[in-house]
């Protein structure tokens, strides 16, 4: 549904997005991660045509976004929750958008209820908190119930309940065959929401793949009943051993089968044995520090 | 880790939205109507519109109180028309520059990415609003003259009314063009009023012939008093064309941050 190919942006001789390519399929939630200034927002703006690309193409549902007959009905976009006129009420703002997209007026009240802003709909947006503006932006993106959603930092300002609601919304959208691209600084939230990760560093894609594959480590995490006696056995077998919290030993480069066999041969009882995984935060810094 | 390269040709078909949203964008008349609604949906927009309607009759009442009457309607309406036009210029500026200032332009161009089309609709909406508000404003000014001012000479009042209405529409469009070009309400308003009310009157005092070919506010008064003349029409038309073309060119190239 979103196909980006060789997207590049230069600002005054400085390359901020460099040959970014990816393809997002229906039924998936993709997390778009990167440090500040890595090019996430610029890439999203180029996809929508708000920022012209220096080179490369971005297609949404097979066409450049700017060529879609009614783009708001194809892709719901939240790039900046503060980009609204503070003098309008939330309801008026949504009604104007609904008229532009061609959505019946009652839909405005439906989406206001979905984001729990019914009571605040008649108030001027200038009096909204950041979280309320985020929810208003999400409501605007959902007006036409579009098949594609692209959200830039949607969790900013949301309380834990709001974040959980948004996670369920995005997962539900993907479960119904929708496509979601989500950027966020909340790594824990991303880890629990997305199927796939795109990591961008210094304007280039440095990782792209299913989240379980990216987080899978090359090794085994084992928790023996008696770590003090099992660790020498592992070292005697020529294996490197790293210590983790909770008495867990991580053995890089060894499969769970081999560790299990070693434990059985030495008569060591094991409480837990599984392939090792790294945390998203660890992966994030590993990838973005290197870029 | 794998980075998927996009296929050379895209075959996807634009999917139908799940709701009852239109498959096509808004028609031009609908877009124009939306821009009218946008302008009148904020307190600043409504305040400027109200001021544009009231400045004419209030000016007449003030002039009557201080001068005592015996005025030529064409001259009084010309001056009031200039005030109406200068207020309507602000309405036009807010319609375009206001969106850049508040960044709501992002939503506008996300939903209708063809910027030239949006600006054309804004220009049409501003012309319509300017026409209506200037008509009401000059109508009230005529009423105030008739009711409260004594010794009014009504010669050529009809052409003055027509000039005020046309100028009101033109100045609103000029404001929209300047706002689109500058992209910042405060800068656009300050710069324009400084030029029209500061620089051009100074120029008029030293080079009146050159000022007459540049000053749009003076052109409104001239039109109202003397009827359709080539120079004032050309001056106002020039401001409309230059501001609108500049606004379109700059807006089409500007990134939306």
Q: What's the whole-model pTM score?
A: 0.85
Q: Is residue A208 part of a domain?
A: no
The label of the residue with tokens 């400045």 reads B55
Here the tokens at position A96 are 């104007």
What's the residue count for chain B?
Answer: 257
CA atoms within 13 A on the CB side of B53: 9
List the single best residue of A77, A85, A144, A152 to mutate versus B (max B Cβ within 10 A).
A85
CB pairs under 8 A between A and B: 167
Instruction: Give me the mean pLDDT over the B87-106 stretch.
Output: 97
Q: Are B21 and A144 within 8 A, CB to CB?
A: yes
Q: Are residues A183 and A266 in the same domain?
A: no
Percent with pLDDT over 70 in chain B? 92
Q: Is residue A227 part of a domain?
A: yes
Q: Are residues A198 and A227 in the same domain?
A: no
Task: Give the structural domain span for A251.
Answer: 217-278
Tell me which chain B residues have a C-beta less than 8 angstroms from the C-beta of A4. 6
Confidence label for B211 from pLDDT (cuts 50, 70 and 90): very high
Q: Is residue A284 part of a domain?
A: no
Q: Is residue A288 part of a domain?
A: no
Question: Strand A75-78 vs strand A2-11: parallel, antiparallel, or unpaired?
Answer: unpaired
Instruction: Give me the mean pLDDT over the B30-53 stretch.
Output: 96
Tell me which chain A residues have a C-beta less than 8 angstroms from the C-beta of B21. 70, 72-73, 101-103, 143-146
Q: Are residues A257 and A149 in the same domain?
A: no
Tell me which chain B residues have a C-beta less than 8 angstroms from the C-beta of A72. 21, 110-111
Q: The domain spanning residue A29 has which CATH number?
A: 3.40.50.300
Residue A291: the pLDDT is: 61
Q: Are residues A63 and A178 in the same domain?
A: yes
What whole-number distance in Å separates Cα of residue B241 and Cα of residue A270? 82
Locate the chain B residue with the closest alpha carbon to A78.
B107
Q: Which residue of A82, A88, A97 is in closest CB contact with B111? A: A97
Question: Strand A179-183 vs strand A148-152: parallel, antiparallel, or unpaired?
Answer: parallel
Q: In what order do the strands lie in the sheet with A148-152?
A: A75-78, A148-152, A179-183, A28-33, A196-201, A204-210
Residue B9: the pLDDT is: 36
What whole-number distance in Å separates Cα of residue B133 and Cα of residue B141? 12
What whole-number distance in Å separates Cα of residue A209 and Cα of residue A219? 19
Residue B13 has pLDDT above 50, yes or no: no
Residue A107: the pLDDT is: 95
Confidence label for B230 from pLDDT (cuts 50, 70 and 90): confident
Q: Is residue A210 part of a domain?
A: no
Q: Which residue of A23, A62, A145 is in closest CB contact with B4? A: A23
Here the tokens at position B19 are 């709701």
What whole-number distance in Å separates Cα of residue A206 and Cα of residue A210? 14
Query: For chain A, which residues score pLDDT lower than 50?
Result: none
- How many domains does one find in chain A? 2
Q: Which residue of A21, A61, A71 is in closest CB contact with B111? A: A71
Distance from CA of A262 to the nearest CA of B (A): 31
Q: Of the candidates A150, A173, A202, which is a domain's last residue?
A: A202
Per mean pLDDT, which range of A12-26, A205-219, B101-115, B161-175 is the poorest? A205-219
Of B159, B92, B11, B220, which is closest to residue A59 (Cα–Cα)? B11
Q: Are residues A28 and A167 in the same domain?
A: yes
Q: Is residue A221 part of a domain?
A: yes
What whole-number distance in Å separates Cα of residue B66 and Cα of residue B80? 15
Instruction: Give me the mean pLDDT over the B35-52 stretch.
Output: 96
Q: The domain spanning residue A231 has which CATH number?
A: 3.30.70
Q: Are residues A16 and A68 in the same domain?
A: yes
Max Cα distance, chain B (Å): 88
User: In the 8-state DSSP scheme, what is residue B72?
Assistant: B
Instruction: Give me the mean pLDDT over the B108-115 stretch.
Output: 96
Tell me which chain B residues have a C-beta less than 8 angstroms from the C-beta of A51. 255-257
Q: Which residue of A5, A62, A100 is in closest CB contact with B111? A: A100
Residue A63: the pLDDT is: 95
Q: Is residue A37 part of a domain?
A: yes
Q: Is residue A238 part of a domain?
A: yes
Q: Are residues A172 and A147 in the same domain?
A: yes
User: In the 8-state DSSP scheme, what is residue A62?
Assistant: T
Q: Are residues A177 and A143 in the same domain?
A: yes
């Amino acid at each position: 549904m979103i196909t980006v190919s060789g997207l590049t942006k230069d600002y005054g001789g400085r390359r901020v997005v460099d040959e970014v390519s990816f393809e997002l399929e229906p039924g998936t939630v993709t997390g778009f991660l990167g440090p500040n200034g890595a090019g996430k927002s610029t890439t999203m703006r180029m996809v929508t045509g708000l920022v012209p690309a220096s080179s490369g193409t971005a297609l949404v549902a097979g066409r450049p976004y700017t060529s879609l007959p009614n783009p708001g009905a194809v892709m719901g976009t939240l790039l900046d929750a503060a980009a609204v006129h503070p003098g309008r009420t939330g309801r008026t703002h949504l009604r104007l958008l609904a008229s532009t997209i061609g959505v019946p007026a009652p839909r405005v009240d439906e989406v206001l209820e979905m984001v729990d802003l019914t009571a605040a709909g008649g108030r001027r947006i200038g009096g909204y908190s950041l979280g309320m503006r985020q929810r208003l932006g999400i409501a605007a993106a959902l007006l036409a119930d579009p098949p594609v959603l692209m959200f830039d930092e949607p969790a900013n300002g949301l309380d834990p309940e709001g974040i959980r609601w948004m996670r369920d919304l995005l997962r539900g959208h993907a479960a119904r065959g929708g496509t979601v691209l989500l950027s966020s600084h909340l790594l824990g939230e991303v880890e629990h929401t997305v199927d796939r990760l795109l990591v961008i560093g210094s304007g280039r894609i440095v990782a792209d793949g299913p989240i379980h594959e990216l987080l899978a480590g090359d090794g085994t995490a084992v928790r023996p009943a008696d770590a003090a006696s099992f660790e020498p056995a592992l070292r005697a077998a020529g294996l490197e051993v790293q210590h983790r919290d909770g008495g867990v030993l991580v053995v890089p480069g060894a499969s769970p089968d081999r560790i299990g066999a070693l434990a059985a041969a030495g008569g060591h009882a094991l409480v837990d044995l599984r392939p090792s995984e790294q945390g998203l935060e660890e992966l994030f810094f590993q990838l973005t520090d290197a870029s | 880790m794998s980075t998927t390269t996009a296929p050379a040709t895209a075959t996807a078909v634009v999917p139908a939205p799940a709701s009852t949203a239109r498959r096509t964008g808004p028609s031009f008349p609908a877009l124009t109507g939306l821009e009218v609604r946008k302008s009148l949906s904020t307190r600043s927009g409504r305040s400027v519109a109200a001021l544009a309607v009231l400045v004419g009759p209030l000016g007449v009442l003030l002039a009557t109180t201080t001068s005592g009457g015996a005025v030529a309607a064409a001259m009084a309406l010309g001056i009031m028309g200039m005030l109406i036009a200068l207020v309507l210029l602000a309405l036009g500026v807010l319609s375009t520059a206001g969106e850049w200032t508040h960044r709501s332009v992002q939503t506008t161009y996300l939903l209708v990415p063809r910027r030239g089309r949006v600006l054309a609709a804004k220009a049409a909406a501003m012309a319509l609003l300017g026409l209506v508000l200037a008509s009401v404003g000059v109508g009230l000014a005529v009423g105030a003259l008739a009711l409260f001012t004594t010794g009014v000479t009504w010669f050529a009042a009809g052409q003055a009314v027509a000039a005020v209405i046309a100028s009101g529409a033109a100045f609103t469009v000029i404001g929209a063009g300047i706002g689109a070009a500058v992209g910042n309400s405060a800068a656009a308003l300050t710069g324009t009023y400084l030029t029209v009310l500061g620089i051009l009157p100074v120029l008029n005092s030293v080079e009146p012939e050159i000022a007459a070919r540049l000053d749009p506010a003076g052109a409104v008064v001239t039109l109202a008093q003397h009827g359709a003349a080539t120079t004032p029409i050309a001056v106002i038309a020039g401001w409309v064309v230059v501001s609108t073309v500049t606004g379109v060119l700059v807006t089409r190239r500007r990134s939306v941050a």
